């Protein structure tokens, strides 16, 4: 099933495809594995190929060859009648900045007829680099990023070159919009040398104190969940049921083009669990997906040993980069993720600011109502 559009339309073709045919990608949330996770959680997903001229995607080129990409969409029911289409960290392809809004507009209009008739919006959780991360006016004299401007200014800039000015900055970002990327192409000695002295010291200290890292099986998920429960209580965040993590660890998509390998690592001293994390390996990237730690014995620096072992494992699996998956956007002590910022930046990676969530309303009246309710209760989160 496909739709063909006019010569002057950026998206030349949209074609639905089997989930198992989703292309290999380093973005976990755009893999067939992630679709399987969401299916087991009771959600429905769709996959599509799209076709566009290279010259339409990238400025400064007259290459008339066609690029074929794909994207995974999760259909989220809002009530008995209505739904939204959520695109987690997709589409992967990142056009030139001046073409991005028009590309998403064209893609959205092309997708409209393939989505449920009661779908009121498409929400793109964009992994693209923020326009304001590349703008020197948004940094202070010390090189610290000042963050994004007012929502209306963001929309003006992102809708540049669009026909309908229909892209809207969402009320909330769902997946982390700021992260740290580690370059794993460097050898271990170089990686350690590039860390902050305190981080490097804490990794070695954990080793001297006898911290050991091992991989847990599904049968040992309770070890993870006990640490996770302690972390949730300590930091006052939402507590997922253990079944959520059982799905993440047990889901398999090995008969597809885009599987992922999931490892549950635990740091222990004398068989006492101190910290644990989920490492997901997809294509050339290792991603730190979830983490937890004990409220006791924090002087063992187990979280440092755990991250270092995860990076080593990712390198052993052929990864060239490591995604820390979520930090504060800058060194702001008032930010709730400031502690993660201090911890993760200590490993010496590169801070990266994503565009975050952008909406394309398909039914403007219902979209306005939905977003007003969403803003009031901030209850919708789908990862």
- Structural domains of the chain ordered from first start: 2-176+354-377 (3.40.630.30), 185-319 (3.40.630.30)
**Which backbone phi and psi does 268 adopt, to 5 degrees?**
-135, 155
pLDDT band at 332 (very low <50, low <70, confident <90, very high): confident
pLDDT band at 7 (very low <50, low <70, confident <90, very high): very low
CA distance 234 to 230: 6
**Which backbone phi and psi does 219 adopt, to 5 degrees?**
-65, -20
Listed residue (167, 145, 148) closest to 158, CA to CA: 167
SS3 212: strand
**Which backbone phi and psi does 236 adopt, to 5 degrees?**
55, 50
- Burial class of residue 232, CB neighbours in 10 A (0-12, 13-18, 19+): middle
- Convert the pLDDT of each residue in 61-74 to its tens digit: 999 999 999 999 99
Extract the tokens encoding 356.
């975050």
Extract the tokens encoding 188.
């271990």
Helices 197-208 and 302-316 cross at an angle (nearest 10°) of: 100
Q: In 91-171, which residue ranges form alpha helices assigned H by DSSP?
A: 97-111, 151-158
Q: pTM score, two decimals?
A: 0.93
Extract the tokens encoding 308.
């270092």
**pLDDT on residue 379:** 43
Angle, CA 224 vertex, CA 333 and CA 200 arms, to 5°: 50
**Which backbone phi and psi does 277 adopt, to 5 degrees?**
-160, 155
- Convert the pLDDT of each residue in 225-264 to its tens digit: 999 999 999 988 889 999 999 999 999 999 999 999 999 9
Cα distances (Å, whole numbers) of residue 285 to 183, 251, 311, 314? 10, 19, 10, 7
Do residues 32 and 5 touch, judged by C-beta distance below 8 A?
no
The residue ranges of DSSP E strands in 18-134, in sequence order, are 44-53, 66-77, 83-88, 119-129
pLDDT band at 378 (very low <50, low <70, confident <90, very high): low
Q: What percent of the chain has a predicted confidence (pLDDT) above 90?
A: 87
SS3 269: strand
């Amino acid at each position: 099933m496909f739709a063909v559009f006019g010569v002057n339309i950026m998206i030349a073709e949209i074609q639905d495809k089997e989930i198992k045919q989703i292309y290999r990608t380093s973005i976990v949330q755009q893999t067939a594995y992630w679709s399987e996770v969401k299916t087991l959680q009771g959600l429905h997903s769709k996959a599509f190929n799209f076709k566009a001229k290279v010259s339409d995607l990238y400025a400064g080129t007259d290459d008339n060859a066609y690029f074929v990409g794909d994207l995974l969409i999760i259909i989220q029911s809002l009530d008995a009648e209505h739904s939204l289409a959520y695109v987690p960290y997709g589409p992967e392809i990142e056009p030139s900045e001046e073409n991005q809004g028009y590309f998403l507009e064209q893609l959205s209009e092309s997708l409209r007829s393939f989505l449920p008739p009661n779908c009121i919006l498409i929400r793109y959780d964009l992994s693209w680099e923020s326009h304001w991360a590349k703008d020197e006016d948004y940094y202070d004299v010390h090189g610290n990023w000042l963050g994004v401007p007012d929502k209306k200014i963001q929309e003006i800039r992102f809708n540049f070159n669009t026909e309908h000015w229909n892209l809207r900055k969402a009320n909330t970002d769902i997946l982390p919009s700021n992260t740290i990327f580690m370059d794993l192409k460097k050898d271990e000695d170089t990686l350690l040398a590039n860390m902050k002295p305190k981080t490097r010291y804490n990794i070695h200290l954990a080793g001297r104190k006898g911290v050991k890292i091992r991989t847990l099986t599904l049968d040992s998920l309770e070890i993870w969940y006990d640490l996770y429960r302690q972390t949730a209580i300590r930091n006052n965040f939402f507590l997922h049921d253990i079944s959520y993590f059982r799905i993440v660890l047990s889901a398999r998509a090995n008969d597809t083009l885009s599987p992922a390998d999931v490892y549950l690592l635990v740091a222990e001293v004398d068989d006492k669990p101190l910290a644990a994390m989920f490492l997901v390996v997809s294509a050339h990237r290792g991603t730190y997906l979830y983490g937890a730690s004990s409220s006791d014995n924090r002087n063992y620096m187990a979280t440092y040993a755990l991250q270092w072992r995860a990076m080593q494992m990712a390198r052993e699996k052929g990864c060239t980069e490591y995604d820390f998956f979520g930090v504060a956007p800058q060194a702001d002590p008032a930010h709730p993720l400031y502690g993660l910022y201090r911890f993760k930046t200590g490993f010496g990676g590169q801070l990266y600011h994503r565009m975050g969530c952008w909406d394309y309303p398909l039914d403007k009246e219902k979209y306005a109502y939905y977003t007003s309710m969403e803003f009031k209760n901030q209850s919708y989160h789908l990862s």
